[in-house]
Amino acid sequence: MRKSFIYVLLMGIMVAWGLNVTALKILVEHFSPVTLTALRIFTAGAVVLLFLWGIGRLGKVGWKEAKQIGLAAMFSVVAHHFFLAVGLTNTTAVNAGLVLGMVPLVTALLAMMWLGQRPTWFRILGIALGFFGVVFVVASGDGGLGHLSIGDVYIFLAVLAQGISFILIKKATVEARVMTGWMLVFGALWLFVLSFALEPHGLSSLKTGTPSLWMIFLASAVVATALGHMFYNQAVQYLGPAESAMFINLNPLFSLLGAHWLLGEPISWMQLAGFLFIVAGVMFGSGGMDDVIARFRRAKVAARGRKVGMW
């Protein structure tokens, strides 16, 4: 698979994920959030497994692979989507989208800790800028920093869980698309168990759905969750977690636009400042500037070599 194609694919995924924050905000306001999430994730997992079965790529999974899938699912599906759904009931789609933009920085930090990636000054600066951006986002709330929204805390926990899952996916030996399908199904079953305990009447809330709400549900489950996670996890195995996560800096932009245009949520100057800090932090913290400087140095050395060769 060509790198340029993976980049285009990742761009499309970011559009879907950014707008999915708005879709989820609409859905959790009409349905019980954990029950809805369990059904959405299970639908996505079924779509992925049917797709793989249709193209003949749904191979057998051994006990070693099953353990890898189960561990990754606890973070990628259960923890991430649980905190995301609950968090969206207590914060705005704009704030959620901006905090979710921290995924690349958290992933880069975890990659330094667990994958042995070298911490450069650019990465350290990027992580600091990113967290400073989140402070701006949180401070834009009605109560400021002194009244931290519990929804923002839940969204950050969702970010942390997602970052851990990307490290586990990179280290796994299971093919990314197969891993995604089984992770979604396995995680959805655990979410159903949680929903029965936390939302005894959660299933009855699904009866209030309208055709337009179910269309949003299907778009979120199939496009954003099933196809989005399947192809993104494949990109993680091709490019690595840090380089793939760089594209998530586009998530806050599409989340901001979606929440503003579709939900009418206002965008404050502090949220815009937070967005700029997060994007700058992603560019530095995810290794983007390190790559640019490395390419520049290689080009400079090659040019010097050609000049010497001329003599």
For 6-25, the pLDDT digits (tens) are: 888 888 898 898 899 889 98
Mean pLDDT of 90-118: 77
Mean pLDDT of 60-73: 89
For 182-221, the pLDDT digits (tens) are: 999 999 999 999 999 999 888 888 888 899 999 999 999 9
Band (310; pLDDT cuts 50, 70, 90): low
The answer to whether 108 and 116 have CB atoms below 8 angstroms apart is no
For 253-273, the pLDDT digits (tens) are: 788 788 878 778 777 777 778
Mean pLDDT of 161-176: 86
Which tokens belong to 12? 């499309």
Of the listed ranges 29-38, 60-69, 110-119, the least confidently predicted one is 110-119
pTM: 0.74
Of the listed ranges 6-10, 87-91, 137-141, 235-239, the least confidently predicted one is 137-141
Band (2; pLDDT cuts 50, 70, 90): confident
Supply the pLDDT for residue 276.
Answer: 81
Write out the DSSP string of the chain. Answer: --HHHHHHHHHHHHHHHHHHHHHHHHHHTTS-HHHHHHHHHHHHHHHHHHHHHHTT------HHHHHHHHHHHIIIIIIHHHHHHHHHTSS-HHHHHHHHTTHHHHHHHHHHHHS-----HHHHHHHHHHHHHHHHHHHTSTTGGGG--HHHHHHHHHHHHHHHHHHHHHH--S-HHHHHHHHHHHHHHHHHHHHHHH-TTHHHHGGG--HHHHHHHHIIIIIIIIIHHHHHHHHHHHH-HHHHHGGGGGHHHHHHHHHHHHH-----HHHHHHHHHHHHHHHHHTTHHHHHHHHHHHHHHHHHHHHHHH-
Supply the pLDDT for residue 143.
Answer: 47
Q: Which comes out higher in pLDDT, residue 143 or 33?
A: 33
Residue 123 has pLDDT above 80, yes or no: no
Q: Which comes out higher in pLDDT, residue 119 or 220?
A: 220
Q: Average pLDDT of the chain?
A: 81
Supply the pLDDT for residue 223.
Answer: 93
